Structure 1
Amino acid sequence: MAGTAATEVEIRALIEAVDQADQAGNRAEAERALDRARAAAPDHPGVLNAAGMRALVAGDAAAARPLLERAAQLDPASPYLWVNVALAQRELRDETAERDALEKALAADPRYFPALLHKARLFERQGKLKSAAEMYHAFLCCLPPGAQPPPAVQAAIQRAGEVMRKNDSALEAFLEPRLGQARARHAEERLDRFNACLQVLLGRRRVFTPQPSFLLFPGLPAIEFIDREHYPWLDAFDEATDEIRAEARAALAEAAGDFVPYVSMRAGTPVDQWRELNNSKRWSTYFLLKNGRPIEDRLARCPRTARLLASAPLCEIPGHAPTAFFSVLAPHTRIPPHTGVTNARLIVHLPLVVPPGCSYRVGAERREWREGSAWVFDDSIEHEAWNGSDEPRIVLIFDVWNCFLTSAERDLVAALVAGVQEYNEGTVPSSTARSTDRRSASCSTRERDKVPSALPESGGWA
Structure 2
Amino acid sequence: MQASGFDFRQMAAEAGAALNDGNAAAALTGFRAILAAGGEDASIWYGVALAATALEDHAVRTEAITRGLELEPHNPRLLILKADDYALAGNDRAAAAHYNIVLRMIPDGAQLPPDLEKAVARARLKCSQYAGEYADKLSARLAAKGVVLGGERDRFSRSFDVLTGKRQIFYQEPKVYNFPELPQVQFYDRAMFPWMDRVEAATDDIRAELIEVLSDDAAFAPYIEGKKDRPQNDVHKLLNNPAWSAFYLWKNGRPIEDNIARCPKTMAALAGAPIPQIRHRSPSILFSLMKPGMHIPPHSGLVNTRLICHLPVILPEGCEFRVGNEIRQWEMGKAWAFDDTINHEAWNRSNETRVILLWEIWRPELTPREREQVTALFEAIEDEDGRRPDWDI
TM-score of Structure 1 vs Structure 2, range by shorter chain: 0.7 to 0.9
1:338 Cα deviation after fit: 2.1
2:147 corresponds to? 184
For 2:329, the aligned partner's letter is E
Greater C-alpha Rg: 1
Rounded to whole Å, the distance in 1 between the matches of 2:109 and 2:246 is 38
TM-score by length of 2: 0.85
Distance (Å, rounded) in 1 between the aligned partners of 2:348 and 2:236 = 16
* Alignment counterpart, residue 88 of structure 2, candidates 108, 125, 132: 125
Per-residue CA shift, 1:11-67, capped at 9, x if unaligned?
4763344456678x8x9xxxxxxxxxxxxxxxxxxxxxxxxx99x955169967975
Q: Which amino acid aligns with 1:122?
A: D
| Partner AA of 1:120 in structure 2 | A
Equivalence for 2:349: 388
Asked if structure 2 preserves the Cα contact closer than 8 Å seen for 1:225 and 1:378, the reply is yes
Q: Distance in 1 between matches of 2:372 and 2:162?
A: 36
The verdict on how the C-alpha distance between 1:320 and 1:75 changes in structure 2, with shifts beyond 3 A counting, is same
Q: Which amino acid aligns with 2:246?
A: T
Higher share of residues assigned helix: 1
RMSD over equivalenced CA pairs, Å: 3.5
**Structure 2, gaps ≥5 residues long:** none
Q: State which drifts further: 212-221 or 372-381.
A: 212-221
Q: For 1:195-206, what aligned pairs fall within 5 Å after superposition?
A: 195-206=157-168
Are residue 208 (structure 1) and residue 140 (structure 2) matched? no
C-alpha displacement at 1:158, in angstroms? 1.5
Q: How many residues align?
A: 390
Tell me which amino acid in the other structure corresponds to 1:243. Answer: D
Partner residue of 2:227? 266
Q: Deviations over 1:393-442 (max 9, x none)?
A: 2211100011222333322222222222233327xxxxxxxxxxxxxxxx
Q: Secondary structure at the match of 1:327?
A: strand
CA distance in 1, matches of 2:109, 2:354: 38
Distance 2:351 2:110 in 1: 41
The worse-fitting range, judged by mean Cα deviation, of 397-406 and 14-23 is 14-23
Of 100, 107, 112 in structure 2, the residue corresponding to residue 137 of structure 1 is 100
Q: Which of 93, 96, 113 does residue 150 from structure 1 map onto?
A: 113
Per the TM alignment, residue 335 of structure 1 is displaced from its structure 2 partner at its CA by 2.2
Answer whether contact 1:340 1:381 (CA < 8 A) is retained: yes
**Map of 1:338 onto structure 2:** 299
Match of 1:36 in 2: none
**Cα distance in 1, alignment partners of residues 161 and 255 from structure 2:** 44
1:232-247 matches, cutoff 5 A: 232-247=194-209
Structure 1 match to 2:392: 460
> Is contact 2:276-2:360 (8 Å) kept?
yes
CA shift for structure 1 position 81: 4.7
2:186 is the counterpart of 1:224 = yes
In 2, distance between residues paired with 1:126 and 1:369?
A: 47
* 2:271 is the alignment partner of 1:288: no
Percent of pairs with identical residues: 35
Are 1:65 and 1:89, in contact at CA under 8 Å, matched by a contact in 2? no
Most deviating of 198-207 and 315-324: 198-207
Q: Do the aligned residues in 1 keep the contact of 2:49 with 2:64 (CA within 8 Å)?
A: yes
How big is each residue's C-alpha offset from its partner over 1:141-180, in whole Å with a ceiling of 9 and x where there is no partner?
Answer: 3348986212111111111112112211221221122122
Aligned partner of 1:59: which letter?
A
1:14-163 equivalences in 2 (<5 Å): 14-18=7-11, 57-59=23-25, 70=36, 78-84=41-47, 86=49, 95=58, 98-143=61-106, 148-163=111-126
Question: Is the CA contact 1:300–1:306 (under 8 Å) kept in the aligned structure 2?
Answer: no
Q: CA deviation at 1:181?
A: 3.7
